[in-house]
Structure 1
Amino acid sequence: MYKRILFLLCILPFQLLMAQSKLTDFPQGYTPEEVGNRLAYRFMEKYRISDRKGIGYADTFNWSGALKYAAIAKDERLVKLLQNKFDSLFTTKKNILPKKTHVDWNMFGSLCLELYKITKDKRYLDLGISYADTQWELPGNAKAKEKEWDAKGYSWQTRLWIDDMYMITIVQTQAYKVTGDRKYIDRAAKEMVLYLDELQRPNGLFYHAPDVPFYWGRGNGWMAAGMAELLQCLPEDSKYRPRILKGYRKMMKSLKKYQTSDGLWNQLIDQPDCWAETSGSAMFTFAFITGVKQGWLKAKEYGPAARKAWMALVPYINEKNDVREVCVGTNKKNSKQYYYDRPRHTGDYHGQAPYLWCTVALLEK
């Protein structure tokens, strides 16, 4: 018995190391350093504040993705360039700051808080926290439904669209990271449990909304990425953690089943005749990589699946460093054909950003 225990203690770390190695040693052109550098500098080159009339959520998470990559790559020049691009928002371009009146706009605070984390400049903290706080501060002109959500302790911006579970989670989680105030992570976790209970189906996937019974790729990607982000910060003693971890693992199991032979996922995940879509696929890949590295998923099972997905994703980046086959911004609609027919763009920030998340997750120790 003693010899068997000793054997297991010796062999298990080796097996884990072998599985983890699936997420390292990438061939030239596929390393996270190369891909991250390409896409982060592409954002710097392409995104001009002077041309903007507003800042959308896709701009925000691509910007923050580039920042996270720059920080982990220790590219101080890139950090400074991205910071400088932001700073006109305190002065000449202050008028294009997102209003604090919608779930898609409040998530802008996550970018401010990422800048604060890196630079320790209090201007970014104050601005970011204002977006996190107002997501839970009922406005004077609130509608009846918004008042109902607020009375139950949820964000008044709740609408039960799966997109929200990245938009709400990311700003509240970032606020917790920089302040240590438990209220922010508890808000996000309580909200996540609500969405899990309302929208996750028996197969582990999520409807776009209660009245839209389709498993849209990027929508499910928001859930996958949101849970991965939240679980990394959620304290072990949180009463919400077991429920969220259960929902996350259930989803990952289903995603592994629906991963195509090419390594990606389709625009409608469960429809084999639908087209392969890159933004949702990259979000699922991020969730896989994070789960393996955090020990929530079995490395020997999900490590190869994550690697297969990453190797399939990289060739979709063209010579201009733009990602192809990205579904455009998509509202909910109770029509299967609607999702099949969504336009596909190249270089759309919905696709650029999750690739950057993957590079950071691959580089993290």
Structure 2
Amino acid sequence: MNSTYANHAHQIWQAMIKDHSGEWGMDIHHWDWVPGVGVIAMLEYYEATRNPEILAYLQEWVGQNCEKAKGTKVINAIAPYAIFPALYQITNDTWFRDEAVRIAEWLIKDTPRTRENAFEHTVTENVAFPEQVWADTIYMAVLCLARTASLVGSTVYAEEALEQVLIHLRLLQDEETNVLFHGWNCGSGDHMSAARWTRANAWIAAGIPMIVKEIDQLVAIPEELKERYGRLMAGLLAYQQEDGLWSTVMDQPHFYREVSGSAGIAYGLLQGMEMGLIPSKDETFAAVELVFRAIVPYMTEEGIVKGVSGGTPVMPTIQAYQDDIPTYPTLYGQGLVLMLLAKVGQVEKMNHEQR
């Protein structure tokens, strides 16, 4: 990795693995989507650097926290399992493979679904969102299913992962702007507050090329997916602000800038080009570089990423995303920025080698 990206990435990773007990956003020692996004990002960082310390930490983390996973299975709590297929391939410990398959079977057979057959978005908190489809689900659960499909060669898992991606795109994509609404209520048949929330778009912008990478040898990727993803990414670029970031609700430029969603979109742009889902263009690379430069001032010397909005359900109004969701450090904010840094570093290295 380029030394600039490498130094920032190392600082961010170090901040993630420190003791943040009692701090919801940064406490990595529980089993849910927040640390899940964190460890998914650490795996990306390991794959970019092959630093054995990162791999050792991931194995240690699973050992310390896997007992906490034995409660009720919900979509958000699937996220940490997305690292299990790779850990099996690296360590040859069959426990990782067996656990990944167990979770894939639950997703296929038992997870609650909406009337459109989408995975219903379920969370560990004592609250339910019946018949609701959220963009978050693609990253939190479908990514794990796709990686398990690749690991065991299952067309059944791959087809389900593809179907979930298509259902979510069909239900959430705004045909006017091509970007995504945060959620869909199957019961009322609407997008609720109809917020074009930036981090919702980031989960799918980043998640789809990661999923396609896993399943494209098992199932044909339909033109509909490529066409919708291409429109999504073009639509997102149209909302990038002059400073390089996206507002927390992207069509509200006076709302605060949101770093985690911006990093996730930029990662998706790079991964989407790598997977051939969107054209590889100089202006797209320039947009990603602008994101990186804009994010740097939000990183402290201790590796903490600021400007990250807190956990966000579908809010009752668009204004509530601005007024009621504060910003504070989180593992998903750290993680999405770490993923971007790792991917940019890989692209820089590849370009250097080709010169």
Q: TM-score range by the shorter chain?
A: 0.7 to 0.9
**Code of the aligned partner of 2:12:** L
- Structure 1's 98 and 283: CA in aligned 2 closer, same or farther, altered over 3 A? farther
**In the alignment, structure 1 residue 260 sits paired with structure 2 residue 241:** yes
**Distance in 1 (alpha carbons) for counterparts of 2:298 and 2:28:** 27
Unpaired segments of 5 or more residues in structure 2?
122-130, 184-190, 351-355
**In the alignment, structure 1 residue 232 sits paired with structure 2 residue 232:** no
- Structure 1's 85 and 311: CA in aligned 2 closer, same or farther, altered over 3 A? same
SS in 2 for 1:204: coil
Q: Which residue number in structure 2 is paired with residue 56 of structure 1?
A: 32
SS in 2 for 1:160: strand
Q: Which residue number in structure 1 is paired with residue 325 of structure 2?
A: 343
Matched-pair contact (CA < 8 Å) for 1:325–1:344: no
Q: Which residue number in structure 2 is paired with residue 76 of structure 1?
A: 52
SS in 2 for 1:108: helix
**Code of the aligned partner of 1:341:** D
Taking only the aligned residue pairs, the percentage that are identical comes to: 20
Per-residue CA deviation, residues 203-235 of structure 1 (Å, 9 max, x unaligned), is: 111111222311011111112112121222332
> Which moves more between the two structures, 71-80 or 279-288?
71-80
> Which moves more between the two structures, 201-210 or 286-295?
286-295
**In the alignment, structure 1 residue 205 sits paired with structure 2 residue 187:** no
> Which moves more between the two structures, 273-282 or 344-353?
344-353
Q: Which residue number in structure 2 is paired with residue 85 of structure 1?
A: 61
**Structure 1 residue 36 displacement after superposition:** 2.1
**Code of the aligned partner of 1:233:** E
Please give the TM-score of this superposition, normalised by the length of structure 2. 0.83
- Where do residues 14-29 of structure 1 align in structure 2 (5 Å cutoff)? 29=4
Please give the TM-score of this superposition, normalised by the length of structure 1. 0.81
Matched-pair contact (CA < 8 Å) for 2:88–2:97: yes
- Structure 1's 40 and 53: CA in aligned 2 closer, same or farther, altered over 3 A? closer
How many residues are paired up?
A: 325
Q: Which residue number in structure 1 is paired with residue 142 of structure 2?
A: 169
**In the alignment, structure 1 residue 308 sits paired with structure 2 residue 286:** no
SS in 2 for 1:136: helix
Q: Which residue number in structure 2 is paired with residue 327 of structure 1?
A: 309
Matched-pair contact (CA < 8 Å) for 1:43–1:66: no
**Distance in 1 (alpha carbons) for counterparts of 2:260 and 2:28:** 23
**In the alignment, structure 1 residue 185 sits paired with structure 2 residue 161:** no
Per-residue CA deviation, residues 95-128 of structure 1 (Å, 9 max, x unaligned), is: x115353111123321323322332221212122
Q: Which residue number in structure 2 is paired with residue 293 of structure 1?
A: 274
Matched-pair contact (CA < 8 Å) for 1:39–1:66: no
**Structure 1 residue 359 displacement after superposition:** 2.5
Matched-pair contact (CA < 8 Å) for 2:28–2:331: no
**Distance in 2 (alpha carbons) for counterparts of 1:156 and 1:215:** 20
Q: Which residue number in structure 2 is paired with residue 7 of structure 1?
A: none
**In the alignment, structure 1 residue 135 sits paired with structure 2 residue 107:** yes
Q: Which residue number in structure 2 is paired with residue 275 of structure 1?
A: 256
What's the RMSD between the two structures over aligned residues?
A: 2.5
**Distance in 2 (alpha carbons) for counterparts of 1:170 and 1:98:** 20
Unpaired segments of 5 or more residues in structure 1?
1-23
**Distance in 1 (alpha carbons) for counterparts of 2:309 and 2:120:** 28
List, as ranges, runs of 4+ consecutive aligned residues in structure 1 with deviation greater than 6 Å: none
Matched-pair contact (CA < 8 Å) for 1:113–1:128: yes
Matched-pair contact (CA < 8 Å) for 2:30–2:65: no
Q: Which residue number in structure 2 is paired with residue 43 of structure 1?
A: 16
**Distance in 1 (alpha carbons) for counterparts of 2:58 and 2:30:** 17
Matched-pair contact (CA < 8 Å) for 1:274–1:340: yes
